[in-house]
Amino acid sequence: MNPMRGRPTSPTARVDYARLAPSVAKDWVEEFVLEQRLLGVPGPLIGDALALVESHVAESGEPVREAFGDPKAYARQAAPSRRIEGDRDPWWLVGLGLGLVGMFLTGVGADEWLFGSGQIEVTAGLLVSGGLLLAAFAVLVLATDAVLRLAVERTRTFLGVCAVYCAAVVAAHLVLGDGIGRWSAVPVTAVGVGLLVLSTVLQWRTASHGGLDDPITGPAQQTEVEGARAAAGSGAAGLLGWLTVFLFPILTVLMVALSWVLHLLA
């Protein structure tokens, strides 16, 4: 059964936030919205702020930068508060963590089970790689806003950090190659697949209740969006949402397929 069949179009896709302020310079609107997003301001409140700016600029004819100044500075001034903790579904974060661990275990186990000896050689490098994976997840969860701001405002630095991280994972495998023990590949793979299934269920739970939607809407669109969400019932909003839900199983399949191709070439 296709969960997207008969679904209404996602409210997020229908509402273009630039149209909420047609009298305001587009670059100002984009910088304002980006800064408020980074501050964690909910979409409807961003829409209300844009409506206020549009009303003033349209009535006075005053350029937006003269009336409201720098968009980033005004965004920080207009932000009522940080996004409340409860707004981020903890089960979604748990699902992400389980998905990462499940992908790691399934990839390692399936490679040895399908193409190797059936025994996983546990090395210090393998354990360090797992630790680095969990550390990256902890940083993403505990410092989400800081990571997003670094990625947006200092893209080169962010890419450099990612490159160093990947190099550390590879170096761990190359340098710390001493064996510690052996694990059977079948149970490791089974545990990994089980974690992937549990991760997908938890993320489905959040997506199906609209937990991933936070559209930027003006006062006129909020009723429409709420009605569309109610009509949507238990379905997720949009293909991107479903792709996110199944991201880890998809990546795991790609990893195993790549390993198969490499074994064929070898």
Cα angle for residues 93, 83, 4 (degrees, 5° grid): 55
Query: Are 70 and 94 found together in one domain?
Result: no
Given a contact cutoff of 8 angstroms between Cβ atoms, the answer to whether 97 and 137 are in contact is yes
Question: Which of residues 56, 78, 100 is at a domain's end?
Answer: 78
Is residue 59 located within the same domain as residue 191? no
In this model, does residue 88 exceed pLDDT 70? no
Q: Does residue 84 lie in a domain region?
A: no
Q: What is the domain count for the chain? A: 2
Summarised one tens digit per residue, pLDDT across range 156-189 is 898 888 888 878 877 887 788 777 888 898 999 9
Domain enclosing residue 40, as ranges? 11-78
Q: Verify that 62 and 103 share a domain, yes or no.
A: no
What is this structure's pTM? Answer: 0.59
Of 35, 58, 78, which closes a domain? 78
Is the pLDDT assigned to residue 197 strictly greater than 90?
Answer: yes
Pick from 59, 78, 97: which residue ends a domain?
A: 78
Q: Are residues 163 and 130 in the same domain?
A: yes
**Tens-place pLDDT, residues 16-37:** 667 788 888 888 988 888 888 8
Tell me how far apart the alpha carbons of residues 177 and 166 are, in angstroms, rounded to a whole number: 17
Q: Which residues pair with 181 in a beta bridge?
A: 122
Answer whether residue 71 is part of any domain.
yes
Distance CA 55, CA 81 (A): 23
45-54, 133-142, 182-191, 248-257: range with lowest mean pLDDT: 133-142
The answer to whether position 221 is within a domain reads no
Specify if 113 maps to a domain: yes
